[in-house]
Structure formats: C-alpha cells, structure tokens
Chain A
Amino acid sequence: MRTTHHANVRSFRLSTRSGPFSLLHPQNLLHISSSASSSAHFPPKKMLARLASKRLLEIRQVFRQSPQTSRSLSTALNYHIDSPDNNPDVPWEFSDANKEKVKEIISHYPSNYKQSAVIPLLDLAQQQQGGWLPVSAMNAVAKVIEVAPIRVYEVATFYSMFNRSKVGKYHLLVCGTTPCMIRGSREIEDALLKHLGVKRNEVTKDGLFSVGEMECMGCCVNAPMITVADYSNGSEGYTYNYYEDVTPKRVVEIVEMLRRGEKLPPGTQNPLRTKSGPEGGNTTLLSEPKPPPCRDLDAC
C-alpha cells in the first residue's frame, strides 16, 4: 500500500511541473491517483485520504521528535564543563579511612600494572563523594595510579555507573532493557518521575533522590525492577540493592519508605514469589526427580 501511495505523490508532483492545468485542487489529486491505483476494494477516495492523513501524521511526528529524548545515558555529556562545585581547581582527596582502602585495592594488582585499579578506585571515590565523580576526584585517582588524567576520564565516561554530575542520596535506577520494558518499566519510571517531580537525571530539591535509567540489570526473571544506590551513609554504609517485581504503586511506596529512613528487604516485592520462583509456589518438578534412564546401571 505504501508504495502505491508514494508513486501517486510522485506522479502528482510531476504533473504540476509539466502541465499547464492547475492541479492544486485536492479533487484533482485524488482523481489522478485513483486512476493509478489498481487495487481498490473500498472507495479509492476514502482509502487515499486515510493514507494521506496517516502519512502526514508520520511526517509530523518526525519533526516533533526532539533530539534530547534520544539520549539515555547516566550523564549525557562526554565532556566537562566547569562549574563552581566541579572544576579541576576544587581540592579533592581520599579520606583517611579510604586511603587504607586504596592501598588495599592497589595491592591486588602487580606493581607495574597499577592502572588496572582504575575502576575500583573510581567506585571508591564515587562512594566517598556521595554518588558522583567531580573532575578533581578523577584527577586524584589518576595521580594514585600514575596515569594521565585522560585515561581515567575515558573509563569514567565509558561506564554509565559512574555519575559525572550530582545525584541524590538515593539514586534510583530503572532498568530499561527489553524484558523490563515489556513488563512496564516505562510506567515505573513515569510514576517515579511524577512522584518526585523531577526529570531524568535531575536531583530533587531536597537532594535526596534522583532517577536514572540503566541497561539490563540481569534479573529479567523478576522484571521490572529498580536499583537503589544508597549514598546516604558514605562509602562505609554504601548499599546497592535491587527491588524486583515492582509496580508503579510499589515504587512510590519504596521512595516514601526511603525518605522516612526505613529499611526494607531487597529482592522481589511480590509477596507471592520467593526469590525468582514462580508466583504461588512451584508448579512443576514437584516430586523427587527421577534419575535419567540411561544412567540406571541396573536396568542395562
């Protein structure tokens, strides 16, 4: 259908250019195109009008699409823009407790391959800073592992788990990959954003929450799910928990519980499931499994 429609549009354009007759009237257009279309089970005028309006809608949608919506990484920019609280001149150092940890992390690697410690060190720095990495923290990591700062920036920009702009004390990450999407992760994100009154990657006014999107968290059997990265207790009390089988209602409850400071057990939020088991208990493999016949040596 689409191809015939295109052909008609083309013939219409050609005729306006070549002929002396005015073809601007829609009646004319329909007349000519109907003569070109061969398959007409229902009145051609109606069909073409519908096709035309559909096409118009498509075109309008293409133009309506704004470029920002296509980006979904944790922080969109791949380059740094100086701001008062994030510029290379801000002093940054590992805390004394973390300095011990740094030593411990580096001791895991051969002394001539210190740079391998870049990811654990960046993670440590991110926990210390409260969930994000200012550029001076990356410079500090580069100094510790004795590489050029750009090598650290490369790693930090590559992994979406490293946030290069401020996040809330509770950073909520919604899984957006296909299985979760099918099970309604879009609605969950919308519910979170609506409840908190922020946009994606924005921090609430009280600095408590921010919402981001994440690629597959690897628990598709419990889709949809969110992760709560809890930076409220510094790098010592840092937790990173999955809340699975969530619903738009449940995520709002989770947010409120976090706001009140209540602990809630991570894992599936569906009371009918245990871990990744089926809802309401097992439905198959209920009896003792029988040994496979060929293994039954006595039968041979």
Chain B
Amino acid sequence: MGLGLLASRTLRTTTILSKSPRIFASQDPSNALRSIVSTPELQNPEAAAAAQPNPTPDLPPRTPVAGARVHLPNPDDAIEVFVDGYPVKIPKGMTVLQACEVAGVDIPRFCYHSRLSIAGNCRMCLVEVEKSPKPVASCAMPALPGMKIKTDTPVAKKAREGVMEFLLMNHPLDCPICDQGGECDLQDQSMAFGSDRGRFTEMKRSVVDKNLGPLVKTVMTRCIQCTRCVRFATEVAGVQDLGMLGRGSGEEIGTYVEKLMTSELSGNVIDICPVGALTSKPFAFKARNWELKGTESIDVTDAVGSNIRIDSRGPEVMRILPRLNEDINEEWISDKTRFCYDGLKRQRLNDPMIRGPDGRFKTVSWRDALAVVAEIAHQVKPEEIVGIAGQLSDAESMMALKDFLNKMGSNNVWCEGNDMHPCADLRSGYLLNSSIGGLEKADVFLLVGTQPRVEAAMVNARIRKTVRATHAKVGYIGPATDFNYDHQHLGTGPQTLLEIAEGRHPFCSALLNAKNPAIIVGAGLFERKDKDAIFYAVETIAKLGKVVRSDWNGLNVLLRNAAQAAALDLGLVPESGKNIESAKFLYLMGADDVNLDKLPDDAFVVYQGHHGDRSVYRANVIFPASAFSEKEGTYENTEGCTQQTLPAVPTVGDARDDWKIIRALSEVAGMQLPYDTPGAIRSRIKTVAPNLLHMDERDPATFSASLKPDFCQKMSLTAFGTTVENFYMTDPITRASKIMAQCSALLLKK
C-alpha cells in the first residue's frame, strides 16, 4: 500500500517535471532510445532537481507508516528533521528510515527489519540528504538535527532503480511458480523501481538449494542476500546455524555443513524473507495468497495465546501466520502454532457415535446420542459424575460444562493440567504477573521447574530478548534441558530451591542485588504432591528478593495449556484427588491427556471433542465438536489477557460448538441451562469472572501478599520433572498433524 503511494507520488513528480520543456530539449534523443529508464529526465538527475521547485512546507500532515510511534522519553533529546519538507520531531538516535516512517513516508527496504540488527547491505533504502554528496542508506544512517531528507527526488529514485536492477540481475524470473508471488517485497518494489527490461546478458547465477528441515523450503537462487534470516536465527531464534558463505557473486546463505535448522521459531524466517528463497514447505504450491481469506484469531496450542491469522480457502485452513501484538508474541510465532494446521484436517470426529455391545462404534443421530447420555447421567449418583475440560476448551464451554454438572449435582469438574491441586484461590497464584512484555524489564530470572523453550516458545523468546539486550542472569532449577541463552543450571530439584530460600545458595546474591527479579514457576509443579511446600519456598524467595513490590510483581506462574487460566478463573478445580477412581459417569470435553487407567471398568465415558485422539478409545459415546479454527471462543492466556478466536472455516460434518452440545444435552436431560446465545453465556461468565469479558485486555491480578498459606508441608526431594516431552506434539490437533510428526522425527532426533 505504501509502495503504491510512493510509486504514484513519483509518477506525479515526473509528470510535473515533464512539463518543463527545457529538460526535454536537453535530452539527446539517441540516449533516450538506449535508456532502460522509462522517464528520460532521470538520465540527468541534477538538471531535473534544479528544475524542481522548492517543496512547500505547508504539506498536509501525514499518518505514520504501520502505526510507527514516537516515544520521547526525554523531550530535551528530541531533534527535528525534515522529510520531504515536512518537519518531524524524533528522539535522538533514530535512523533516517525511522524518521521517514514517523513522517509517513514508506521507504522501500529489503534488509532492514525493525526487530533485527541493522545490516545495511541491500541499499534499497537510499534517500537523498541535502548537502550529502551521495545518496544515503537511510536504514543505517542516524538522523541528525536539521537534516533535510528527500525521499522521492529523481536522485533517490534513480539510485533505487540502479539497486533494483542489480538485485534483479541474478534473480530468476520464476514469479509464476514462486510461492512468494503476490506477497513478495521484491515483486512489489520492482513495480515502483524495476525496469521492464534488463541489460544483463550473462548467465544468471544459480545456487544449490539447502535442506533446512521439514518446515522451511529453500530456493536459494532467488535469494538476494539480505541476511535477514541469518540475523533472525542468530538474534531471535538463538540458533547459530545459518551464515553467509562465500564472496562476491558466489555469495550464498547456507549452513556450510549438512545441518537442519533446529529451532522452535524457524518458521518465522519464511515471513521475514523478502523474496521466495525461504518459503513454507507444507504450504508449497498449495494456494496463492490472494485466494485466501484471513481470519484474525488466537493460537491455542500453548498458554501464550499468540495472535494469529488463519488463512483459509473454502472449508480448508491453508496456513497460519502471525499477527502483530507487541505485548504477547511481537510478530513471531512458534513452529507448533504455524504448522499444526494440517492436524485440523486429519482424524476429525464428524458424527455422533455410540459404542454398541460388540464394542464397535456406530454412527447415530444427535437426538439418539443425547438421549442415551441423558439417560445414563440420571442413573448414576451425583457424586459419581465427573467432568474434565480439555486443554483446548474455551471459557464459554467450560462455563456450560460446569453449570451443567453442577445442576446434575456434581462439582467434580476441572480442566486438564489442573488435575491435582492448583492454587485457584488467588488470581496472582496462577498468572504470569509481570506480563510477557513486562519480562523485558527483569534483570534476573529464576526458572523453577519450567522449560520455557518447549512449554511456551514465545515467552522463551522474550526472555532471550531480555538476556541478549541487558545480559540479565538466568538461573534454572529443573532437569537438564536446552536453552538458547546463557543460563546457570542451579540444580534439579527442591533441594536447590530450599537452599536459595534459606539464603545459602550463591545465586541469592544475584537475586538480592537485582532491581527487577522475576521468578517463573512452571505449571507442571501443580501436579506434585508437595506443591504447597514448593510454593511456600518460592514465596519465601520472593519475599527475600523483594520480587513482589507495588511497582513490580515478578512472581510468575507459567501455565501450559490454553484453557488453564480461564478454567481457574471460572473455578474449574477438582474437589479431591481421587475423583477418577470413583467416577461412574465421566464427561470428557476434549480431554485427551488425562490418565484414565484408574477409571473403573464400568464407568460410562462421554467424549466430546474434535479429534479421535487418545480418550476416544475409552469412550462409550462420542460427540463431535468444533476445533478452535471453527468457533468463536474466549481464551485467557498465561498472563491473564483475554482474547477471542473467530471461526475461519465451517465445522466438519455434523460437529457442533462445545457449549451448544452441552446446552442441548442439558435440555434432553431435563435441566435446561438458561442461555441460548454466546452473549447470554458471556453474561453468565460475567457473574463468575468478569475479566473474561474484557477482550484483548490484560487484567492484572490484584495481589495480596499477606494471604499466604502459613502451614508448612513436608517437601519431598524428588527432582522436578519435564513437563513437555515433545514440543511438537502436545494436544489432539498437533498429535494428528503429519507435519508435527515429521518435525518430531527429524528435529528432536538426538
């Protein structure tokens, strides 16, 4: 959009210029014939510049590009520069390109990326600066006070046209078969600065394609050596695998030795690649981007709630892309989020089924299935009814499930991951209180029993960003695991935690000297018997290190599942630890990671969900439900931010939304739930957890440090376990995905 504007503005300039007959007269006609530039006056930029009238300063105010914001921490540090005659105030240290963005001018660029270090090697962002002898690479040039920047002069345009010609020289003409076609920076910018013919008569360069694993497809001949991927891998992903090899025209991106890119963020290089050199392997040749319908939604494969855009064509999810959200995922998403979508098309439950006496499932109508379940539910004692919500459940359906089971007389309803003893009493006891964005302010991290790299890749990326920027110290207690930043492995179990709590550990000094210490406790500890003792120790450390203050709350819990936070807000907690053993009627709402070994054989199991995964094999009745891409659902992420998914594709077969199924079942069972619309169910939620209605807002927990359990439980000395065994397969969707299976086979190989 910005470039189109730029092109039209350039065209306008040239039309103004071509009205000047002097310039036309000065042109040698034979020269114009040989020229590849379509505007003849560009052959003589100086004369054209001289003919141009001085830009009038009374330009209409412009809107900054892509929401570029100026934050002036110190008004004295502000400097004023003029972009095309339009004055802008910017803080000291901003580059010329950023100043132009603030002024509302989109500078074409390939190598510059706002979240990566500046390379300045593509030269596409050349602008003219008054009193500078040459065009200036705006991305690498700091803006100086009073600088007069000109972005659409013939000099700048000609410079960019020259750069573009060199870039296109070795770029193959395979746009019609290139997956980047339609969303390619080079394609877009060649509309503004490219020529319709080339002067290059030599052979084009060709480069051997690299194998970067099952996710990223490479066509290295298309590479324009912007090094964005190299910088991304080094700086954000923290895997130093990619590099720039060779020199001159033989330069290429590669790993030199045969090596796969083993990062959980590797998919993001597809987005940052400005050309089609790195594209998505699963999406290769599947669709064109202009055929796709984008739906802005939320990722549910982990507790981070990354903002995503689901691109669909007809009834099919074609790909998933990140959406910008500075507070949660910036503009990256993990590979699991990006590539789990093919799991949405496999192993789907599409019809209600009842297990017959022969042990085989047979397809029945909704009416029959609901009638059977309602009848059985009335035959068992109320305390033998148990409901478990799965890790992908939305708040609405969990509310409906809890209300329904309460009406049946049972309060045994909880969410996966909260099986044992979650601390649901205080909201601050299960949230990431310092918020994901707030982690950047921390200077010491203490990770207790959590492996953020596999549990919440985006939180890990945030910690890594902080560690890189401020050399924050990271201490880790738990089993040995991979980190992509410097860390100290303090110990493996509660013993170390106790040592720190008692001030006997060398890490204590770092914690005490820190300005903003952050403690992150993994939600996997909820499942330990001695959870209370561990949390008591953690709170002692927090008190010791002044982690919880009025201006900083660094005591965090990192949840594992998308449904966990909302479930705890809604009060879905088990009554006692032995519910499953005595259950006669088990209602599983997408719960596949529950251990059903202790379930009595005569228990009646209803499975409501979207994938034939694990629990379905124990089920007596199956209700097909819709997946997160097919429904409107509220999710709360680990920091307490409420967000909503939107339906991108229709549901499959005869499946229905989770809450609608429970609503229908309640009616058949004779105890109708009082809501018929999502609006009505939300007003019910409002009475339980009003924060779940504040969309896209983070409701911080109102903390009260005094309400601490004052009993001391005996702490066992067994080491902390690994919460997530396989990063790529954690829920029914990712377990059904072929791509994720490939990833875990190839990338997790030791």
Contact = CB atoms under 8 A, between A and B. Distances in A.
A198 to B, nearest CB: 22
B246 A157 contact: yes
Contacts of A153: 243, 245, 256-257
Contact of A151 (B208, B243, B252, B255): B243
B247 A88 contact: no
Contacts of B246: 73, 78, 157-158
Contacts of B243: 150-151, 153-154
B242 interface: yes
B240 to A, nearest CB: 3
A78 B203 contact: no
Given A67-B203, A135-B257, A78 B240 contact: no
B203 A154 contact: no
Contacts of A71: 250
Q: Which of A70, A151, A154, A158 has the most CB of B within 10 A?
A: A154
Nearest to A150: B243
Interface in A140-167: 147-151, 153-154, 157-160
A250 to B, nearest CB: 31
Given A70-B203, A150-B240, A154-B243, A79 B250 contact: no
Interface string B225-259: 00000000000000011111111001110111110
A258 B557 CA distance: 72
Nearest to A160: B247
B240 A79 contact: no
Q: Which of B244, B251, B256 has the most CB of A within 10 A?
A: B256
Contacts of B254: 78-79
A82 interface: yes
Contacts of A78: 245-246, 250-252, 254, 256
B75 to A, nearest CB: 36
A80 interface: yes
Given A79-B256, A80-B256, A80-B257, A150 B250 contact: no
B362 to A, nearest CB: 56
A145 to B, nearest CB: 13
A160 B243 CA distance: 17
Contact of A79 (B203, B244, B245, B247): B245
A65 B203 CA distance: 10
Interface string A47-87: 00000000000000000010100110100101110100000
Interface residues of A, number: 23
Contact of B258 (A73, A82, A157): A82
B210 to A, nearest CB: 8
Interface string A74-105: 00101110100000100000000000000000
A2 to B, nearest CB: 13
- Interface residue tally on B, bucketed by range: 10 to 19
Contacts of A88: 257
A151 to B, nearest CB: 7
A73 to B, nearest CB: 6
Q: Which of B210, B246, B252 has the most CB of A within 10 A?
A: B246
A30 B256 CA distance: 56
A208 B688 CA distance: 85
Q: Which of A73, A148, A157 has the most CB of B within 10 A?
A: A157
B708 to A, nearest CB: 43
Contacts of A158: 245-247
Contacts of B255: 79, 150
A149 B255 CA distance: 10
A151 B250 contact: no
A150 B256 contact: yes
Contacts of B247: 73, 157-160
Nearest to B205: A70
B277 to A, nearest CB: 15
Contacts of B258: 80, 82
A65 B201 CA distance: 13
Contact of A148 (B203, B210, B240, B251): B240
Contacts of B240: 147-148, 150-151
Contacts of A150: 240-243, 255-256
Nearest to B208: A79
Q: Which of B210, B251, B258 has the most CB of A within 10 A?
A: B258
Nearest to B254: A79
Nearest to B244: A154
B383 to A, nearest CB: 59
Contacts of B210: 79
A81 to B, nearest CB: 9
Contacts of B251: 78
Nearest to A88: B257
Contacts of A157: 245-247, 256
A281 to B, nearest CB: 41
A87 to B, nearest CB: 9
A70 B206 CA distance: 12
A64 to B, nearest CB: 13
Interface in A242-267: none
A136 to B, nearest CB: 10
Nearest to B251: A78
Interface string B257-282: 11000000000000000000000000
3 closest cross-chain pairs (CB), A and B: A148-B240, A153-B256, A150-B243
29 contacts: A65-B203, A67-B203, A70-B203, A73-B246, A73-B250, A78-B250, A78-B252, A78-B254, A79-B252, A79-B254, A79-B255, A82-B258, A148-B241, A149-B257, A150-B241, A150-B242, A150-B255, A151-B240, A151-B243, A153-B256, A153-B257, A154-B243, A154-B244, A154-B245, A157-B246, A157-B247, A158-B245, A158-B246, A160-B247
Given A80-B256, A135-B256, 9 more contacts: A79-B255, A79-B256, A150-B240, A150-B243, A151-B243, A154-B243, A154-B244, A157-B245, A158-B247
Interface of A: 65, 67, 70-71, 73, 76, 78-80, 82, 88, 135, 147-151, 153-154, 157-160
